[in-house]
C-alpha cells in the first residue's frame, strides 16, 4: 500500500513517496504525515505497518553518526541496535526471545538517507546499500522504478532533476496501483 523510490549519487540522495494508506479492511486514508520524514537529520521512508511508521516518525530520536564515522559501522553498531531496542520497547518487534536478535522481525521495511547515502533496512533488521544507488519498495514500487529508470533517472545531473523524475514516476505508479495515491512527496538530502 505504498510507493517509495530512492536514488543517490555521490553528493546527494532523493527519496519520493505516495500518500495513500490502506487498512486491513481495504479502506484508504491520506495521513497528515508523509511516509518520509526527517528524524534528527536522517531521512526515513517507511513501508508496511503504520505503527512502525508512527514509531520511526515520532517515537524516538534517531542516533546520528559521529563526525567522520564510517556509515556502515554506524548502521551495524549503533543505528540497528537502537532501532531494535525502540521497536521492542514499543511492541512492534515480534521476537519471542528478548535477548536474541536471531529471528527478530518487524512488519515492513525502511529506506534511510544518512549524509546522502541510502540504506534499505529489511524486516529482519538487515541492511543493504545499492551499487546502482537505487531502491524501491511497496505495491507501486515496481511501476515507479521502471518509469524512473526509463525516464533517465540514472543520468540525472542533479538532485532537483532526479526529484522531478521520481515525482513523475510515482505518478505513473499511482495510475496503475490502486494501493498508491496522491499527493506525492519528494525529499532531497545532501552528502555532508
pLDDT (mean) for 70-83: 97
- The CATH number assigned to the domain holding 119 equals 3.60.20.10
Question: What pLDDT does residue 24 have?
Answer: 75
Question: What pLDDT does residue 22 have?
Answer: 79
pLDDT (mean) for 93-103: 61
Alpha-helical (H) ranges within 14-140 are 50-54, 71-74, 80-89
Check residues 98 and 118 and name the one with the higher pLDDT: 118
pLDDT (mean) for 78-107: 80
User: Which set of grid coordinates corresponds to residue 136?
Assistant: 524501491
pLDDT in tens, 1-25: 799 999 999 999 999 999 998 777 8
pLDDT (mean) for 31-39: 93
pLDDT in tens, 124-169: 999 999 999 999 999 999 999 999 999 999 999 999 999 999 999 9
Q: How many domains does the chain have?
A: 1
What does pLDDT average to over the chain?
92
Q: Kindly indicate the confidence band of residue 43, based on its pLDDT and cuts at 50, 70 and 90.
A: very high
- 160: containing domain: 4-190
Query: How many helices (H) and strands (E) would you count in the chain?
Result: 5, 11
Pairing of strands 21-22, 12-17: unpaired
Question: What pLDDT does residue 140 have?
Answer: 96
Q: Which residues contact 145 (CB under 8 A, 6 or more apart)?
A: 5, 134, 136, 169
Q: Which residues contact 169 (CB under 8 A, 6 or more apart)?
A: 5, 16, 143, 144, 145, 147, 148, 151, 153
Amino acid at each position: 500500500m505504498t510507493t517509495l523510490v530512492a536514488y543517490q549519487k555521490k553528493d546527494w540522495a532523493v527519496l519520493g513517496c505516495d500518500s495513500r494508506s490502506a487498512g486491513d479492511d481495504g479502506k484508504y486514508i491520506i495521513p497528515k504525515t508523509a511516509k518520509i520524514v526527517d528524524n534528527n537529520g536522517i531521512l526515513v521512508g517507511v513501508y508496511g505497518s503504520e505503527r512502525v511508521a508512527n514509531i520511526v516518525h515520532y517515537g524516538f530520536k534517531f542516533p546520528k553518526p559521529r563526525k567522520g564515522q564510517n556509515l556502515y559501522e554506524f548502521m551495524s553498531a549503533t543505528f540497528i541496535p537502537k532501532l531494535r531496542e525502540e521497536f521492542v520497547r514499543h511492541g512492534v518487534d515480534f521476537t519471542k526471545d528478548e535477548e536474541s536478535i536471531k529471528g527478530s522481525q518487524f512488519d515492513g521495511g525502511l529506506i534511510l538517507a544518512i549524509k546522502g547515502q541510502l540504506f534499505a533496512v529489511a524486516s529482519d533488521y538487515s541492511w543493504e546499500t545499492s551499487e546502482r544507488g537505487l531502491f524501491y519498495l511497496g505495491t507501486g514500487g515496481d511501476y515507479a522504478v521502471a518509469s524512473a529508470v526509463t525516464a533517465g533517472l540514472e543520468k540525472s545531473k542533479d538532485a532537483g532533476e532526479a526529484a522531478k523524475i521520481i515525482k513523475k514516476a510515482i505518478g505513473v505508479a499511482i495510475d496503475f496501483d490502486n494501493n498508491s495515491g496522491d499527493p506525492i512527496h519528494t525529499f532531497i538530502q545532501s552528502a555532508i
